[in-house]
Structure formats: structure tokens, C-alpha cells
């Protein structure tokens, strides 16, 4: 791969770092990525030749590829993700802490010669539109061509970023190796990786070292490692927020448009909400981002958000023409599918794509698959990587360097019981209380057991780079910095409530616009509202159900305040809050006490 973009790099510090890492990792070659289409095509062709990629049928998916990962490298590894702050107390009780010096020593040993026989790619990338005052630059050094082509979709990479960096710009060094050196003459495998994985963050020096995995958030270091874990630390220090949130525009029939952000845990509905096809006539949603939001206080005291990413790394299973037609359109061309199933005619398939599966497939492990064989055809955390600009409802302002103004923030998660369909916080502090107490059932997005209910405050449990108690305090402080008249209002939703028969009570997806409508009406002032002990909720007729048939009694159950459930919840929150010790802001203890007394406890 020659020539490369090294010649346009005027940044002596970066050149020195790359040289140093090349000496450590001993790659066979070093390639500076320019980010061009030509380079992308060559890398994809190389991945096809290596057996990592299978080209899809160009009629069905022009520029489409399927990648199958190693069966043990399919999701983020939270138990191997470390925050290496100098003081263990700064990582807090929700993170895995390791000593920075010791961890560097271990990693240096692991990285020694780790890239033998491979190419070291230098990938300068911008999180956020290049030139936006809110954008930040990272440089990923990686021996994974798969990571490079994914980064090219998910971020803005190459020469324009080097130009922006000039001779002395700041960047976050992101070192990545799949940890599979090749001896001379040794044949490669389609998905190199290492059974030993280390996803390490050094918040004090703002650096990332990732070893052993080629998958998703473990390997695309701009995403969770930089844009959330390291960025959350930068944001704390600089007075902004780095959040696991979608950003959407909601237009009412009168033409008025507002922007909302929503934090749901991994695989809990951000992508689907961000580009929903409205079930209500006259209402429409446009997508600014589906996974990460960087939020700043603008000069006028308003909260504004940018999407630091440029693509979607979305959950494939469940994506269908009925659940999310806009995502299906976005992934028609130029998309990398990872761990989905392949049809005999070069198309892709996953559970839920069509009501009935095709009669024959090659499953995500490369084996023949027939319906009823007892194995899933697609890995439950199979994903697509697609350029955001291909989304048919991408918002016209999605790359606005100043971001979009946020009028409401929604928290949520998968809760089978207790938590109602929608609820508004009584105040900013109450909203921070709601965000801090979010809980959700675990999903396939991370290794470990699934369907286990755990606290996932602000959907940031796996992504906050510092002490969660300090993070709550930072949210409270941000509220004080916003103009009270322009401050976003805070809501809590739950699409995942189940009835006695074990089925979802709420249809979800495009029907979620009905709840967004109530939220917008709340902002504008209306009377479909009742005050309850847990917050402000819709009246029985508050949610617009035109054209919708719900099971009998479903709406009552969705909008009920389950007193017994909330009493259990109080105890569980008290125990949870206890884990933060004196770093739990006093206001949150007060909110818990106030809820207790409103519930008559
Ligand atoms: P990450 O990319 O992991 O951060 O996830 P995400 O929050 O963007 O989740 P996504 O929208 O991809 O949804 C994950 C799963 O939840 C998919 O299988 C969806 O089909 C399902 N899902 C999304 N929205 C709804 C909903 O409103 N109701 C129900 N029942 N399921 C939903
Ligand atoms: C998530 O797990 O929240 C994701 C996918 O968005 S990953 O990039 O793997 O983190
Ligand atoms: Mn995510």
C-alpha cells in the first residue's frame, strides 16, 4: 500500500510516537491512512483476499461485505475493560481499576513484537465534524485492516485530520493490536485475535491501549474508549457532557421542530428511536446520531449536542422493514456486516429481518443452517457498519459544527416491571436522580450473562471513565450552568414492560412517537398530566392512541404507579447509593428521601 499519508504529517510528536510504537510492535510495514476512497477499496479487497470479508451480491448490497469474527470475539468485554487512574478511588466502585504503571508494563510486554508480520496502520481520526469547536482528534495505531475500514465509516479519518492537527495539535493516542503476531511464513487466519484481552484507559494522560480483540467497542477506539470513557473525563474537567445518547429531531404537524437526546443502555433501542418511522400522521423524526452525544452549554445558556460519530454500528437482529425501515435503507450500500447470516444468493439475514427465515443459510460461524436447527443464524450482537449520511432521515443539521439545541433528555432501559411507560422529572435534580437510578436487563452487546437486571446509571455504567458519584455531581453542576428557562426537561421511558402473559405491553418502535408527542406537549404546556409520587405522568387519555389497538388494560398497566414495586425499588436504590459512599452528592440522597416520603413510606 504505497504511497501513504506520512508525507503530509508535520506533527513531530506524532511521528515520534509512531516510530516508537513501530519499534515496540515490530510490524512488517507502516501505512499512514489518507482516508481516500481508493485506500478504502484496496483495504476491502485485501480483506476479501484474506478471507475476513465475503463480498455480498452487488445487486442487493453494492459495496457490501460480510465479516465473520472469531466465535470468542463477538462483543465488548466489560470484565477486561480497565480504568487506570493514578488513584483507584477515581475509577470508583463501578469500574475495574488497575495501577497505571503496572498495567503499562504488562501491556508493553504484550505489545512487544505483537504486530510481527502485519501492517501497522496509522489512522488519524476526528470525533465530530472536522473544524467544529467541539470536535476532538485521536490517532489509532492498529494492526487490523478491519478496524481501519470500520473507522473510516464510523469517524472522519485521514489527511484532512492530519491537516487539522498541523504541527502541534492535541490528539488522544489510541494503540490497538489484535495480539496475533505472525512468524515468518505463518499463514494468517480470517479473524486474528488473542484469548487474552485488555481494554485499558489512562485518564490522566488521556491515552488508550487495547489488546487482543478486533470487535466493535474493543477495537474501534474512537467510539466507547475515546468518545465516552476518555471524553467523559475531559468533559468533567472542561464543563461539558460525553454521553451514551442518541440525538433526534421531532417535527410536529404544525411544523415546529425540537431536538431530543436519549440515553438507553446497549441494545436497548437508541438506533431504533433515533430514526423511527412515525406511526402518527403529521409527526416525523430525523436522526442526528444513534449512539453518542457530546453536549455543551452554548453562550446563550442552552444545551447543544453534536454527534461525534459519522456512521452507525448498529445491532442487526430485530432490524426489519416494519421495525426500522430507515435503518434498512441506510444499510443498503457501502455497509460492512459482521456476524450476520449469508443467503445462498449473497444477501444477508438475521433473526427478525423477515417473519420467516430463508430455507437455507450459512450461519455467522460459516456453517450450513436450516430453520429449526436450534442455533441462531446471526450472532445476537451481530452488527452493521454504515455511513450516517445514507440514512434517509438524516437530519439536515447532523454535521452542524455548533450542534443542535436540546429541549428534552430521556433516560430509559429494559424494565419488565415497575417502571411506567413515561414519567417526567419534577426538577433537574430529580432528573439526575432518575438518570442515576436507571436499571436495565443486560444484553448481548457485552460478554457475560444476559437478561440480568442491573443498575446502569445514565446508560453509562460501562462507559464512564471516572468515579460515578463524581459524574452524578457533574450532572447536577451542569444543570446549574444552564439557563433555567432553556434547560432541557428530563424524562424517563420504558418500552419493555411485560404483561402477565410475558408479552410486551407496548408495541414500541414507530409507536414510540406517541410518547415523544406527549413529551413535546409537556414542553409546550398542556393538561394531559397528573402529578404522582414518582414524577409527572400522562393522564389516562394522555397518550395519543389513534390507530392503535392495545391489549385490554394495557394502558392502565403502562401508566400505573406500582406502589409495592416502588417500595422494593426504594430499598434497592438505597443499597446502590450506599456503594458510592461520601462521593454520592447529598442532593441525590435528598431526592431518595423525598421519593420515600411521597410514596408514604
Ligand atoms: P447499542 O448500539 O448497543 O448502543 O444499542 P441501541 O440502544 O442503539 O439499540 P437498538 O436500537 O439497536 O435496539 C436493540 C434491540 O432492541 C433490537 O433488537 C431492537 O429490535 C430492540 N428494540 C428497539 N426498540 C424497541 C422497542 O421500542 N420495543 C421493543 N420491544 N424492542 C425494541
Ligand atoms: C454498545 O455496546 O453500546 C455499542 C456497540 O454501541 S460497541 O461499539 O461494541 O460498544
Ligand atoms: Mn452503544
Q: Specify which residues 83 forms β-bridges with.
A: 97, 201
Beta strand extents in 143-254 (DSSP E only): 156-157, 172-177, 198-202, 207-211, 241-243, 245-251
Residue 109 confidence (pLDDT) above 60: yes
Measured in Å, residue 76 CA sits from the centre of ligand 2 at 7
Phi, psi of 461 (to 5 degrees): -45, -50
pLDDT digits 0-9 by tens, 468-482: 999 999 999 999 999
Residue 56 confidence (pLDDT) above 70: yes
Closest of 100, 124, 75, 86 to residue 209, by C-alpha: 100
**Counting Cβ atoms within 10 Å, is residue 168 exposed (0-12), middle (13-18) or buried (19+)?**
exposed
pLDDT digits 0-9 by tens, 225-259: 999 999 999 999 999 999 999 999 999 999 999 99
| pLDDT cut 90: percent of the chain above it | 98
Closest of 560, 542, 493 to residue 260, by C-alpha: 493
Closest of 40, 420, 428, 68 to residue 214, by C-alpha: 68
Atom 21 of ligand 1, residue of closest alpha carbon:
269
pLDDT tier at 4, thresholds 50, 70, 90: confident
Q: State residue 601's pLDDT score.
A: 83
Q: Is the CB of 312 under 6 A from ligand 1?
A: no
Atom 10 of ligand 2, residue of closest alpha carbon:
217
The atom of ligand 1 lying closest to the CA of 246 is 8
Whole-angstrom distance, CA of residue 567 vs CA of residue 418:
10
Q: Among 76, 265, 269, 379, say which to mutate for ligand 1: greatest number of ligand atoms within 8 Å of CB.
A: 269
Measured in Å, residue 441 CA sits from the centre of ligand 2 at 15
Q: State residue 526's pLDDT score.
A: 85
Across residues 277-292, what is the average pLDDT? 98
Which is the catalytic residue, given 9, 25, 200, 268? 268
pLDDT tier at 5, thresholds 50, 70, 90: confident
The answer to whether 337 and 439 have CB atoms below 8 angstroms apart is: no
The atom of ligand 1 lying closest to the CA of 314 is 2
Atom 12 of ligand 1, residue of closest alpha carbon:
315
Measured in Å, residue 459 CA sits from the centre of ligand 1 at 13
* Residue 362 Cα distances to 47, 353, 374, angstroms: 19, 15, 14
Atom 11 of ligand 1, residue of closest alpha carbon:
269
Across residues 163-184, what is the average pLDDT? 97
Whole-angstrom distance, CA of residue 56 vs CA of residue 348:
8
The atom of ligand 2 lying closest to the CA of 215 is 9
Q: Among 74, 76, 269, say which to mutate for ligand 2: greatest number of ligand atoms within 8 Å of CB.
A: 76
DSSP secondary structure, 280-338, as one string? STT-EEEEEESS-EEEEE-TTS-EEEE---SEEEEE-TT--TTT-HHHHHHTSSS-EEE
Measured in Å, residue 117 CA sits from the centre of ligand 3 at 33
Indicate the average pLDDT of the chain: 97
Count of beta carbons in the 10 Å neighbourhood of residue 443: 18
Beta-sheet pairing, 336-338 with 341-342? unpaired
Helix axes 468-481, 231-238, angle to 10 degrees: 40
Q: Is the CB of 416 under 6 A from ligand 1?
A: no
Q: State residue 172's pLDDT score.
A: 98
Q: Model's pTM, two decimal places?
A: 0.98
Q: State residue 548's pLDDT score.
A: 96
Helix axes 12-25, 100-111, angle to 10 degrees: 60
The answer to whether 286 and 395 have CB atoms below 8 angstroms apart is: yes
Ligand nearest to the CA of 314: 1
Q: Is the CB of 510 under 6 A from ligand 1?
A: no
Lining ligand 2 with CB less than 6 A are 76, 216-217, 223-224, 266, 291, 313, 445
Measured in Å, residue 545 CA sits from the centre of ligand 2 at 33
C-alpha angle 390-286-37 in degrees, rounded to nearest 5:
20
Measured in Å, residue 318 CA sits from the centre of ligand 1 at 8
Ligand nearest to the CA of 327: 1
Residue 1 confidence (pLDDT) above 70: no
Q: Among 291, 310, 462, say which to mutate for ligand 2: greatest number of ligand atoms within 8 Å of CB.
A: 291
Whole-angstrom distance, CA of residue 570 vs CA of residue 573:
5
The atom of ligand 1 lying closest to the CA of 265 is 7
Beta-sheet pairing, 439-441 with 453-455? antiparallel
Q: Is the CB of 217 under 6 A from ligand 1?
A: no
Active site residue 268: yes
The answer to whether 208 and 200 have CB atoms below 8 angstroms apart is: yes
Whole-angstrom distance, CA of residue 399 vs CA of residue 270:
19
Closest of 255, 371, 384, 281 to residue 324, by C-alpha: 384
DSSP secondary structure, 175-197, as one string? EEE-S----TTPPP-SS---SS-
Q: Is the CB of 124 under 6 A from ligand 1?
A: no
Q: State residue 2's pLDDT score.
A: 53
Ligand nearest to the CA of 272: 1
Q: Is the CB of 413 under 6 A from ligand 1?
A: no
Closest of 506, 497, 515 to residue 440, by C-alpha: 497
pLDDT digits 0-9 by tens, 333-379: 999 999 999 999 999 999 999 999 999 999 999 999 999 999 999 99
Across residues 492-511, what is the average pLDDT? 96
What strand order describes the sheet that includes 368-369? 348-349, 341-342, 361-362, 368-369
Residue 382 confidence (pLDDT) above 80: yes
Count of beta carbons in the 10 Å neighbourhood of residue 245: 30
Element (H, E) at 257: strand 257-263
Amino acid at each position: 500500500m504505497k504511497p501513504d499519508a506520512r508525507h503530509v504529517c508535520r506533527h513531530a510528536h506524532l511521528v515520534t510516537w509512531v516510530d516508537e510504537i513501530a519499534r515496540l510492535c515490530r510490524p512488517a510495514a507502516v501505512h499512514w491512512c489518507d482516508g481516500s476512497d481508493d485506500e478504502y477499496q484496496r483495504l476491502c479487497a485485501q480483506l476479501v483476499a484474506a478471507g475476513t470479508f465475503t463480498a455480498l451480491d452487488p445487486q442487493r448490497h453494492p459495496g457490501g461485505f460480510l465479516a465473520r469474527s472469531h466465535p470468542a470475539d463477538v462483543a465488548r468485554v466489560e470484565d477486561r475493560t480497565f480504568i487506570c487512574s493514578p488513584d483507584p478511588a477515581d475509577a470508583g466502585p463501578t469500574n475495574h481499576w488497575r495501577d497505571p504503571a503496572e498495567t503499562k508494563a504488562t501491556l508493553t510486554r504484550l505489545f512487544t513484537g505483537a504486530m510481527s508480520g502485519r501492517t501497522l496502520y496509522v489512522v488519524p481520526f476526528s470525533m465530530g465534524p472536522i473544524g467544529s469547536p467541539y470536535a476532538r482528534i485521536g490517532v489509532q495505531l492498529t494492526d487490523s485492516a478491519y478496524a481501519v475500514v470500520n473507522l473510516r465509516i464510523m469517524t472522519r479519518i485521514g489527511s484532512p485530520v492530519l491537516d487539522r492537527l498541523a504541527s502541534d495539535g492535541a490528539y488522544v493516542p489510541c494503540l490497538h493490536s489484535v495480539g496475533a503476531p505472525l512468524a515468518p511464513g505463518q499463514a494468517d487466519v480470517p479473524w486474528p485475535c488473542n484469548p487474552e484481552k485488555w481494554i485499558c484507559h489512562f485518564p490522566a494522560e488521556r491515552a488508550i491501549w487495547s489488546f487482543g480483540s478486533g470487535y466493535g467497542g474493543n477495537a474501534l477506539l474512537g467510539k466507547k474508549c475515546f468518545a465516552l470513557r476518555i471524553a467523559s473525563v475531559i468533559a468533567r474537567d472542561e464543563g461539558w457532557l460525553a454521553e451514551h445518547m442518541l440525538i433526534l429531531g421531532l417535527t410536529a404537524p404544525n411544523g415546529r421542530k425540537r431536538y431530543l437526546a436519549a440515553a438507553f443502555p446497549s441494545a436497548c433501542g437508541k438506533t431504533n428511536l433515533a430514526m423511527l418511522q412515525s406511526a402518527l400522521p403529521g409527526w416525523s423524526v430525523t436522526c442526528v446520531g444513534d449512539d453518542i452525544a457530546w453536549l455543551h452549554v452554548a453562550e446563550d445558556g442552552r444545551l447543544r449536542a453534536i454527534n461525534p460519530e459519522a456512521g452507525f454500528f448498529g445491532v442487526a437482529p430485530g432490524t426489519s422493514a416494519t421495525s426500522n425501515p430507515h435503518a434498512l435503507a441506510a444499510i443498503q450500500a457501502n455497509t460492512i456486516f459482521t456476524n450476520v447470516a449469508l443467503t445462498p444468493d449473497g444477501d444477508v439475514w438475521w433473526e427478525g429481518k423477515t417473519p420467516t427465515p430463508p430455507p437455507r443459510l450459512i450461519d455467522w460461524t460459516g456453517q450450513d443452517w436450516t430453520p429449526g436447527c436450534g442455533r441462531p443464524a446471526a450472532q445476537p450482537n451481530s452488527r452493521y457498519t454504515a455511513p450516517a449520511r445514507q440514512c434517509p432521515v438524516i437530519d439536515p443539521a447532523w454535521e452542524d459544527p455548533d450542534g443542535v439545541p436540546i429541549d428534552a433528555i430521556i433516560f430509559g432501559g429494559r424494565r419488565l416491571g415497575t417502571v411506567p411507560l413515561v414519567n417526567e422529572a419534577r426538577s433537574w435534580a430529580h432528573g439526575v436522580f432518575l438518570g442515576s437510578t436507571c436499571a436495565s436487563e443486560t444484553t448481548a452487546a457485552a460478554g457475560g450473562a444476559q437478561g440480568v437486571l442491573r443498575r446502569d446509571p445514565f446508560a453509562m455504567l460501562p462507559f464512564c471513565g471516572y468515579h460515578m458519584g463524581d459524574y452524578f455531581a457533574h450532572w447536577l453542576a451542569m444543570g446549574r450552568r444552564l439557563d433555567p428557562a432553556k434547560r432541557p426537561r428530563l424524562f424517563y421511558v420504558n418500552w419493555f414492560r411485560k404483561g402477565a402473559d410475558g408479552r410486551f405491553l407496548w408495541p414500541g418502535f414507530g409507536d414510540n412517537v406517541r410518547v415523544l408527542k406527549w413529551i413535546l406537549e409537556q414542553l409546550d404546556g398542556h393538561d394531559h398530566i397528573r402529578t404522582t409520587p414518582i414524577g409527572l405522568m400522562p393522564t389516562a387519555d394522555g397518550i395519543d392512541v389513534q390507530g392503535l389497538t392495545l391489549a385490554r388494560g394495557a394502558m392502565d398497566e403502562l401508566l400505573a404507579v406500582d406502589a409495592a414495586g416502588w417500595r422494593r425499588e426504594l430499598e434497592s436504590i438505597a443499597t446502590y447509593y450506599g456503594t458510592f459512599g461520601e462521593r454520592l452528592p447529598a442532593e441525590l440522597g435528598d431526592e431518595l428521601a423525598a421519593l420515600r416520603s411521597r410514596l408514604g413510606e
